[in-house]
Structure 1
Amino acid sequence: MNDSLFKISKFDSLFNEKEIELKNALREEKISEIKVAELKKEIEVYLKSILELKEKVKKLEEINKKLDYITRLENWLNKKFVPVINFLEKNVMASLKGEFSRLFSNWFQTLVSDNFVVRLTDDFTPIIEQQDYELDYAYLSGGERTAIALAYRLALNQVINSLMSKIKTRELVILDEPTDGFSDQQLDKMRGVLEQLKVKQLIIVSHEQKIESFVEKVIRFKKNYGISEKE
C-alpha cells in the first residue's frame, strides 16, 4: 500500500513537473509566435521600403537621363545653335537697320530741306547732322521735331510690314497730329507724303484745317463740357 502511494506521489510529482514544462513550452511558443509575427511585420516593412527605394532609384535614373539629355542639349545650344542665331541676328539687324535708316532718311528729306542728314545708330536712335555737325534734338524747331517723329513712324511701319507679311493692319495707317508745328511749305509736302503711303485706309487726327483738302472724308469733333462729341 505504501509502495503504491509512493509510486502515485512520484508520478504526481513528475506530472506536475511535466505540466510546468509544458506551460513553459507553450509560453515560449507563444512568445516565439509573437516574435515571428513581429519579424514578418518587419520583413513586410523592409520589403515595402525596398520597393519604394527601387521606385525612387528608377525615378532618379529617369531624371538622370533627362539631365544628361538637357546637358547635351545645352552644350549644343551654347556651342552651335546660339552662335548661329547671333550671327543671323547680327546680319538681320544690320540689314534691318540699313533699310530702316534709308526709309527714315527718305521720308525726312521729303518733309524738310536738304540741309539735314539723318541716320540711325545701332540701337535705332535718330541722329541729325547739318554740315557734318551733329545737332541736339532740343535745338530743332517744332516742325523739324515733328518731321523726325513722322519720318521715324512711317519708316518703322514700312519695315514691320516688310517683315510680317501677314500682319492684319498693313493696309491701315493712323497718324495723330502728324503736322504739329509744320510750316506752310511742309504742309504742302505732306500731301505728297500721304500719296506715297499707298494704303487702303489712312486716318489722321489733326487740328490743321489744310489737311482737310488732302483727304476724302472729314469727321469733326467738338468739346462739350470737357467731352468730345461728333458735330
Structure 2
Amino acid sequence: LSEIKVAELKKEIEFFSRQLEELSKKIKQAEDISKKLDYLNELENWLSKKFAVVISYIEKNVMTKLQSKFSKLFAEWFSMLVSDSFNIGIRDDFTPVIEQQDYEIDYAYLSGGERTAIALAYRLALNQVINSMMSKINTKDIVILDEPTDGFSDQQLDKMRDVLQELNVRQLIIVSHEQKIESFVENVIRFKKEKGISGIEN
C-alpha cells in the first residue's frame, strides 16, 4: 500500500475509534440513566405501597391518641359544669356523644344550659389539645370566650368560677351580659350602645 493510503486508513481508524468512544460514553450514560430510573421506580413503588401504609398507621395512631385525650378532657370540663348523670365522649369524627342511663340523647333535647355546657367543654378541650400539639403557638396563653354562660342556672354560674380557675392561662377575655361573671374576673370593661353605636362606658 502506498503511504497515502496508509495515512487515509489511519485517519479512518482514528475517526471510527473516536466514534466508538463516543458511543461507549453514550451507552454508559444510558445505562446510568436506566439504573436511576429503575431505582426511582422502586422508590415510587415503595412510597405508594409500603410508605403509604406506614403513614396511614402513624396517622391512625396519632388520631386515636388525640381522640382519647380530647374525649377525656371534654368529659372532665363538662362534669365540672353539669352535675346530672350524663356520660359524654366523642366519636371517631370528633362529634359529641351524650348518654344518660345508657341511652344516647339528641343534642336538641338538652336544655339551653346543658347545650352551652357541651359547647364550652368542647371549646376548652379543643384549646388544650391544640396547645399540647403546637407548643409554640402564639395564642397559647390566651382564651377568649363569647357568652360562655348563656342559659346557665345559678348553680352552673357558681361552677363557672372553678372552671375559669382551672384554665390556668395568662390572659382570659370573657364577653358576657351576666353580671355574676364580674365577680370572677380582675378587670371589667363595660360597653354601652347609643344610636346604634357601641362604645366603652366612662
| Residue equivalent to 1:43 | none
Counterpart CA distance in 1 for 2:142 and 2:154 is 26
Equivalent runs, 1:151-230 vs 2, <5 Å = 151-230=121-200
More deviation in 75-84 or 129-138?
Answer: 75-84
Distance of 1:88 and 1:159 partners within structure 2: 18
Amino acid in structure 1 at the alignment position of 2:161:
R
For the pair 1:130 / 2:100, whether they are aligned, the reply is yes
Q: How many angstroms apart in 1 are the aligned matches of 2:95 and 2:75?
A: 13
Q: Report how many aligned residue pairs link the two structures.
A: 172
- Specify the code of the residue in structure 2 equivalent to 1:210: K
User: Per-residue deviation at 1:66?
Assistant: 8.2
In the TM superposition, what is the alpha-carbon distance from 1:171 to its structure 2 partner? 0.5
What residue in structure 1 maps to residue 49 of structure 2?
A: 79
Pair 224,73 (structure 1): closer, same or farther in 2 beyond 3 Å: farther
CA distance in 1, matches of 2:148, 2:95: 20
If each structure's helix is expressed as a fraction of its own residues, which one has the higher value?
1
Report the 3-state secondary structure (helix = DSSP H, G, I; strand = E; otherwise coil) of the residue aligned with 1:181.
coil
CA distance in 1, matches of 2:138, 2:107: 34
Q: How does 1:69-108 map to 2 (within 5 A)?
A: 71-108=41-78
Q: CA, structure 1 residues 73+208, in 2 after alignment: closer, same or farther (shift >3 Å)?
A: same
SS at match of 2:93: coil
Aligned-residue sequence identity (percent) comes to 74
Q: Which runs of 5+ in 2 are unaligned?
A: 1-29
Q: Distance in 1 between matches of 2:55 and 2:74?
A: 27
**Which one-letter code corresponds to 1:201 in the other structure?**
Q
Deviation at 1:203, TM superposition (A): 0.2
1:152 corresponds to which letter in structure 2?
Y
3-state secondary structure, aligned to 2:56: helix
1:80-124 deviation line (CA, Å, top 9, x unaligned): 211111111111111110000000000000000141110100000
Equivalent-residue separation in structure 1 for 2:36 and 2:194 (angstroms): 67
Residue type of the partner of 2:167? L
- 1:75 CA drift (Å): 1.3
Amino acid at match of 2:105: L
Give the root-mean-square deviation of aligned CA atoms.
Answer: 2.0
- In the TM superposition, what is the alpha-carbon distance from 1:134 to its structure 2 partner? 0.3
Matched with 1:52 is none
Give, in whole Å, the separation in 2 of the partners of 1:164 and 1:77. Answer: 28
Cα distance per residue 1:168-194 (max 9 Å; x no partner): 111000000000000000000000000
Q: Give the 3-state SS of the residue equivalent to 2:193 in structure 1.
A: strand
Deviation at 1:79, TM superposition (A): 1.7
Q: TM-score, with normalisation over the residues of structure 1?
A: 0.70
Instruction: Give, in angstroms, the shift of residue 78 of structure 1.
Output: 1.4
